[in-house]
Amino acid sequence: MNLTELKHKIIPVILSIAVLYFLLPFYLLAQNINFSASCDRTVVTLGESITLTVTVSGDVAKVPQPVLPELKDFNVYSSGRNQSFSFINGKVSSSINYTYTMIPVKPGKFAISPIKLQYKGSTLQTDTIFVEVVKTDQQSQVQPGVPQKQRAIVPSLQEEKDIFATVSVSKRKTYVGEQIIFILRFYQGIQLLSAPQYTPPDFSGFWTEKIREDQAYRNIEGRQYLVYEIKYALFPIASGEYTIPATSFSCQIEDFFSRPFSFGGKRKVVQTNPVSITVVLIPKQDVPKSFTGGVGSFNITSKVDKYTINQNEPVILYVEVCGTGNFKGIEDPIINITGDIKIYEPNSWIKSEDNVNEFRGSKTFEIMLIPETVGEFIIPPVEFSYFDPSVQKYITKSTDPITIKVNPAKSPDKPQQGILIREEIQTTGKDIRFIKTNFFPKIEKPPLYNNIAYLLFHLLPVICFFILLRIKTYKERLSKDIGYARARSAPSKLKKGLRRCEQLKDSPKEFYSQLFKSITNYIGDKFNIPTPGLTKDRIIESLRARGADDSVIKILLYLLERCELIQFGMSSFSIEDMVQDLDKAKEALRYLLKK
Amino acid sequence: MLLLTLILASFNLYGDVVMAESLYKEKRYDKAMEIYLHSIDQNIRDPFIFYNLGNCYFKTNKIGKSVLYYKRAKRLLPGDSDINFNLDFARSQRIDVLNISETPKFFNYIINLPDRFPLNVLNIISSILFFLIFILLSLSLFYKNKVLKNVNIGVIILFICFLLLFSVNLKNKNVKEGVLISVVEAVRSGPREDYALLFTLHEGAEFRILEEDDGWSKIILQTGLTGWLKKEFLEKV
């Protein structure tokens, strides 16, 4: 064992002990803890390393270091520990990973016996882990599934074997779309001042997926190296000859002797070889109809989000292609659904699995279907064909058919009668307006049109109007029609005349003259005859013409004659006669007035 | 004396209203609802009480009742924007959507114009115009004036318009409208359980009541659909 090797073994151990010593006081209140162990691989080539991770987690505070069992068949180095804290519901929980690097010393099958942890008087222990160590030349038999991947190109011979870089590809001749594993390795046999730096090579002509990046110890030609490994999956896009240019790693090495007072060290650059890859087209004959560009090894499954739906509601069909290959190159699957179903453009996404040796994952297509008729409809098997380069053949796989039941829409009269169903209540964050505040409630008022008084009130203007109309027509007649005016004024004039007669009882002559005037005036006014030319005969004539009673005519005739006689002093009279005559006149005229 | 008791009653009610308001603010909608319903029992017909009650029902997820009370409020106070907004909002929460044909806005406005005014307001305006007509007629008896005559013709035309509005409003008011208050109900072809089911209606559906017969009502939807519905599931506006 030379000095450098010893340094490599001792320094991490001392360092980890120191770190543990300083961090231990943090674990104060321990309660429930989980304790487990795992290895990054269980099959390992002699000379490669295994990383053993021991995890202690829980609401731990003070946790003792786990005790590793005695492992005779491995060289064990502690390669550090890391810790994470989390606060959940006010509780602190932490998880500590102890990482150990184990390098097998001989081939064979080994068991890592349980790792023990003393905690609060009880002993926790992990499961036994089985590890198989194979010789380098046995590797292909052990891992038949990936036969060519580890066929490394012979490391480019460097003058100094302290640091060097290699590149390996799983295949140099591939089909378009076939997965190639491209591995960059940086071997470090001495202590470096800084981690190596590199820029990824130019992968033009390929779809590239970085699979993983890790580091491990390896034994090459009896010398211990720390190996950085960067793995890419490459998928050629088109046929042709491609060269992936050399990749440079740069690092700083200790160069104490040439530059003793410099802390930077000496920059050193190592290069890989360029790699050329020949890409050929996949066979053109016997291409299945359902081939959508997949190259690799896949499986297909399908499912729907619900099996019973209502008419015009969507159902989502998920078609998942999983396996290994060029997911990016897989186009949408062909779905042959017939009938009254609306099919929408598929939506797709790719998921990849972590920590695998090749690019592995799944591509999911989400297809929305809306059946437009009631009943059952069947989603027929979805066919998917791909080219499998390992057997150099097209392979077709298909899903199971799915039956979906379509119920009629919720409202049976909907399509014909125009009542729509809202699928769900709109939740737009809107709300009704707030209540009315600060008002005096009103007591119910009956409608006005039911109020009789109110309705009768409307008669008032009508009545007023007709009264006014009457007044107006009367006035108009008075001003225009003399006969009417005379007839209207006759009774009042007569009354006035007769009243004067009564006052003139002392002078009989005047009395009779007044009586005569009153009677003639009245009849003249009444029948619109000019008074001056009114004779006895004309009066009687006009009275007769208007159908007056004979007895009345006689009385009037007698009265008029008597008036004439007395006026001219041709007849005797007494006071009684005067009163009698006046009464007679009144009576006769009252009769005429009525008429 | 009567006036005094009325004023006192109003103050009493005001206290109730304030209490209901504070209950509503505390989201105790059931209690607020009780107070409003009590005041309605006392023959109060206030649009705002109906409106607030509609809000209470809406908040307790009784869309049917809330539509009913908003409609009642709208009958008393047709032009209030809050009432119209909440009525439309409550309508939008119903399951059934009546596919009313789109009418032009202006045409809609004209159709709804009579309902925009309270009935009594239309009544009073018509009455005033009626009086004005006769006053102007009377004046024109005694004063011959061309302006007066033209004004009177204008007033008569205005009066006829208002009379028309009034009568349309009165006709609309006397239309028997109903709202479905149960969650979902079957509408049948005749007034008995054993008649065929024509369609189902959901809470808050509005319709006109055409006739009534022994616990059943014949209804017509705005789409023209008719059928018989059990009386107990609907409430008249």
Work out the average pLDDT over B7-20.
74
Any CB–CB contact under 8 A between A456 and chain B? Answer: no
Work out the average pLDDT over B208-216.
87
Higher pLDDT, A571 or B51: B51
B96/A444 Cβ within 8 A: no
Task: Give B90→chain A minimum CA distance, Å.
Answer: 8
Single-letter residue type at A31: Q
* A464-483 confidence digits (pLDDT tens): 999 999 998 888 888 887 88
The pLDDT assigned to A467 comes to 92
CATH numbers and ranges of domains, chain A: 3-139 (2.60.40), 145-280 (2.60.40), 301-407 (2.60.40.740), 481-594 (1.20.120)
Q: Which residue of A has its CA nearest to B82?
A: A433
**Most confident option among A4-18, A406-420, A466-480:** A466-480
Tokens 């009698």, residue located: A580
CA distance B85 to A444: 24
* A492-527 confidence digits (pLDDT tens): 888 888 888 778 777 777 788 888 888 888 888 877
Single-letter residue type at A457: F
The pLDDT assigned to B160 comes to 93
Taking contacts as CB-CB distances below 8 angstroms, the residues of chain A near B198 are 413
CA distance A177 to A179: 6
A441/B44 Cβ within 8 A: yes
A441/B199 Cβ within 8 A: no
State the pLDDT confidence band at B155, using cuts at 50, 70 and 90.
very high
Query: Does the pLDDT at position A263 exceed 70?
Result: no
CA distance A230 to A211: 8
Q: Which of A172-181, A251-260, A354-363, A570-579 shows the lowest mean pLDDT across its residues?
A: A251-260
The pLDDT assigned to A382 comes to 86
**Burial (Cβ within 10 Å: 0-12, 13-18, ≥19) of residue A351:** exposed
Q: What is the mean pLDDT of chain A?
A: 76
The pLDDT assigned to A91 comes to 60
B38: which 2 tokens? 């009590």
State the pLDDT confidence band at B128, using cuts at 50, 70 and 90.
very high
CA distance A84 to B163: 85
Q: Percent of chain B scored above 70 by pLDDT?
A: 92
A442/B55 Cβ within 8 A: no
What torsion do the CA atoms of B2, B4, B10, B16 make, to the nearest 10 degrees?
-110
The pLDDT assigned to A466 comes to 92
Residue pair B142/A475 in contact (Cβ under 8 Å)? The answer is no
State the pLDDT confidence band at A463, using cuts at 50, 70 and 90.
very high
Taking contacts as CB-CB distances below 8 angstroms, the residues of chain B near A418 are 98-99, 223
Which residue from B67, B25, B82, B54 is spatially nearest to B203, judged by alpha carbons? B67
Work out the average pLDDT over A396-405.
87
State the pLDDT confidence band at B154, using cuts at 50, 70 and 90.
very high
CA distances from A323 to A352, A360, A396 (A): 10, 6, 14
Q: Which residue of B has its CA nearest to A411?
A: B200
The pLDDT assigned to A143 comes to 37
CA distance A378 to A139: 49
Q: How far is CA B225 from the centre of its chain?
A: 22
Work out the average pLDDT over B12-18.
79
Q: How far is CA B58 from the centre of its chain?
A: 18
B9/A440 Cβ within 8 A: no
Question: Strands A402-407, A308-310: parallel, antiparallel or unpaired by DSSP?
Answer: parallel
Any CB–CB contact under 8 A between A426 and chain B? Answer: yes
B137/A413 Cβ within 8 A: no
A417/B223 Cβ within 8 A: yes
